[in-house]
Structure 1
Amino acid sequence: MGWSLRRFPLTKAVPLAISRGTTSVVNHLEVSLSAEGVTGRGEAGGLDTGHRSYGTDAIEAELQQLLPRLDGLDPLNRLRFDALLAALSPPARCAIDLALWDWRGQRLGEPLWRLWGLDGSRRVATSVTLGLGSVEQVLARLDRWWGQLPARRIKLKLGSPDGLDHDRQLLEAVAQALNGHQQQQQLPLELQVDANGGWTLDQARRMIPDLMRLGVVLLEQPLAAASDPDRDTASFAALKPDCPLPLVADESCWTLIDLLRLAPHVDGVNLKLLKTGGLSEALLMAQLARRLDLDLMVGCYSDSCLLNGAAAQLLPLIRWPDLDSHLNLVDDPFWGLPMDGDEQWAPEGAGLGIGFREDG
């Protein structure tokens, strides 16, 4: 058995601006596990949620230190890995967790969703993201998405550093554009809002009537995530009685413990594999969320088709897919996430079902 690590760039066709900054190019890490003629792959990259931050260099150093200790372990015996992975940051753990799952699925000749007993034929439209910018820039981005795919689900980033007046201008302009496009195309369209923690409690309360009036279907992470779990939970608890919209936690929800503490105060959570530390935790969270009647979103950062293909294994359990980052890349080294129009479904190939372009 052998492990390897490589760094690769990912370049956005259109830079993405949110309340915490703008991203144009990132470097990600690929971890490969080779044994018995099978290669499993996982991906990691840096992320910053405002209250927690992990840089790619630090993640790479973690993996370089750990990977030699994994040689000789049986990839089918997951329990042997758990203690070693527990000390890693979530993104570093994610890369190894995905490589193990990918290897295992390929070794057994089945996609992961089938190993988990899920219905991989279910198709769900993904949202596509409109970052912050001027009204003209955001509407141009919307037109670009509509030139690329049907884009029936639109996620608008708000929480602008320019304040609520600018947020309202963006909201009004995008809602008007969606209304016109819907009448022209005779397609039902959906507008979601994600503030990425860019509002105070007072600002969120002041924005909710505008969101309701303009037909927004969900509000994601309106308030900044807090390092103190009790304070973080209290912020959602304070807003929930004033929010008739489905309220979704993203930056605040990383693990099963977070899901349990937030469940009484939200309507859904956004699972991102770099936060959960991979598919193992995300699958547990998805299963528990269903038992708690919480809706699920599965999201991404500046991720390639490999990470999004891994997240797509969960699509049979997801109400709101948000796996569009690979659709905005000019140099994605991976391929294989199936799509028809704006509908996605889980890859049918063994393991993660995602290919590496140099493999042919």
Structure 2
Amino acid sequence: MELRLDRFVLTKAVPLAISRGTTATVTRLRVRLIHEGIEGQGETGGFETGHRAYHLEPVEAELRALAPALAGRDPADRQALEPLLTRLSPPARCGLDLALHDWWGQRLGQPLWRLWGLDPTAVKPTSLTLGLGSVEQVLSRLERWWQQLPARRLKLKLGSPDGVDHDRALVRAVTEALARRGQAQGEALELQVDANGGWDLQAACRLIPWLAEQGVVLVEQPLAPLADPEADTAGFAALDLHCPIPLVADESCWNLEDLLRLAPHVDGVNLKLLKTGGLSEALLMAGVAQRLGLDLMLGCYSDSALLNGAAAQLLPLVRWPDLDSHLNLVDDPFEGPPLEGDRVRPSERPGLGVSWKEG
């Protein structure tokens, strides 16, 4: 088994502003595993959540240091490889885990969703993200999405550094725009909000009932994630008492342990493959969430079609898809996953179903 690593740059058509800052471009790492003439590929890179941060250079160094241990091994022997993966950081593990899954699916000639027995027709429309900005900027971004896609589910970023009054102004403007379009089209449009940890408990308890009155259907990560799991859980427990709409944990939920501690206090969790360390943990978390009655969101960072194509394999299990980052790129080097209207679908092709664009 040979490991190859290549960097590539992704540029957003519209920079994304959230409560922690603005992103316009990122550098990512393509992870390639080659064995018996089959190449599996994965994607990884740096990211931060407010209480944890990973950078590209150390992630790449982890994978390069692991390369000699992979030589002579068979990627199909996943159990024997597991001790090597468990010592990696989540983003490093993600890149390798995706490449192993891609190789496995290609060897068997099947997409992962079929190997897992999932139903690709049970896929809901993805949400499209509206970053922070002035009211005029946010409405302009909304119109741009509508020129590109049906965009029936919108996710509005809140937690503005300009304060909760600006958050309220954004919600009013967007809900009015959605109501006008919905009335013209004869269908209801859905608004979600994501504070990315931008509120304190007092502000969240004040705002969330008001958001419900405006017709917002869910609130994601209202409070800043905390490194202390007990304190982090206590924040969600206190907030749950004042939350009349579904409460979803994102930055606070990385793995199965986090899902279990948060489950009594939230209605759903956001699975992002860079946080979970790839598809293996994400699939396990999805199964446990289903048994616990938790709904799932499936999200992304500044990911290409490769990482989102990997995540798309899980879409039949997800209530709130949020795989839109590759739809906002001007230089995505990958083809896939399929897009039908505002539905991102898992590919019919083997493995992750994503290919590198020639040239």
TM band (smaller chain):
over 0.9
Look up the match of 1:196.
196
Query: Alpha carbon RMSD of aligned pairs, Å?
Result: 0.8
TM-score (normalizing by structure 1): 0.98
Look up the match of 2:165.
165
Partner letter of residue 11 of structure 1?
A: T
Partner letter of residue 32 of structure 2?
A: S
State the Cα deviation string for residues 270-306 of structure 1 (Å, max 9, x = none): 0000000000000000000000000000000000000
Look up the match of 2:246.
246
Look up the match of 2:316.
316
**Unpaired runs of at least 5, structure 2:** none
2:111 and 2:150 map into 1 onto residues whose CA distance is 28
Determine if the alignment matches structure 1 residue 155 to structure 2 residue 166: no
1:229 deviates by 0.4
Question: 3-state SS of the aligned residue for 1:191?
Answer: strand
1:253 deviates by 0.3
Look up the match of 2:46.
46
Look up the match of 1:346.
346
1:104 and 1:258 map into 2 onto residues whose CA distance is 28
C-alpha contact (below 8 Å) 2:29/2:45 kept by paired residues:
yes
1:262 and 1:73 map into 2 onto residues whose CA distance is 38
1:121 and 1:184 map into 2 onto residues whose CA distance is 28
1:344 deviates by 2.1
2:239 and 2:210 map into 1 onto residues whose CA distance is 16
2:188 and 2:153 map into 1 onto residues whose CA distance is 9
Question: 3-state SS of the aligned residue for 1:106?
Answer: helix
C-alpha contact (below 8 Å) 1:45/1:56 kept by paired residues:
yes
Question: 3-state SS of the aligned residue for 1:265?
Answer: coil
State the Cα deviation string for residues 232-266 of structure 1 (Å, max 9, x = none): 00000000011011000000000000000000000
2:240 and 2:287 map into 1 onto residues whose CA distance is 23
Question: 3-state SS of the aligned residue for 1:151?
Answer: coil
Look up the match of 2:288.
288
1:261 and 1:80 map into 2 onto residues whose CA distance is 29
Question: 3-state SS of the aligned residue for 1:215?
Answer: coil
Question: 3-state SS of the aligned residue for 1:4?
Answer: strand
Look up the match of 2:184.
184
1:123 deviates by 2.8
C-alpha contact (below 8 Å) 1:121/1:346 kept by paired residues:
no
C-alpha contact (below 8 Å) 1:122/1:345 kept by paired residues:
no
C-alpha contact (below 8 Å) 2:179/2:188 kept by paired residues:
no
Question: 3-state SS of the aligned residue for 1:166?
Answer: helix
Give the total of aligned pairs: 359
Question: 3-state SS of the aligned residue for 2:349?
Answer: coil
Identity of aligned residues (%): 68
C-alpha contact (below 8 Å) 2:209/2:244 kept by paired residues:
no
Question: 3-state SS of the aligned residue for 2:217?
Answer: strand
Look up the match of 2:108.
108
1:212 and 1:101 map into 2 onto residues whose CA distance is 40
**Unpaired runs of at least 5, structure 1:** none
Question: 3-state SS of the aligned residue for 1:284?
Answer: helix
C-alpha contact (below 8 Å) 2:35/2:74 kept by paired residues:
no
Look up the match of 1:303.
303
1:72 deviates by 1.1
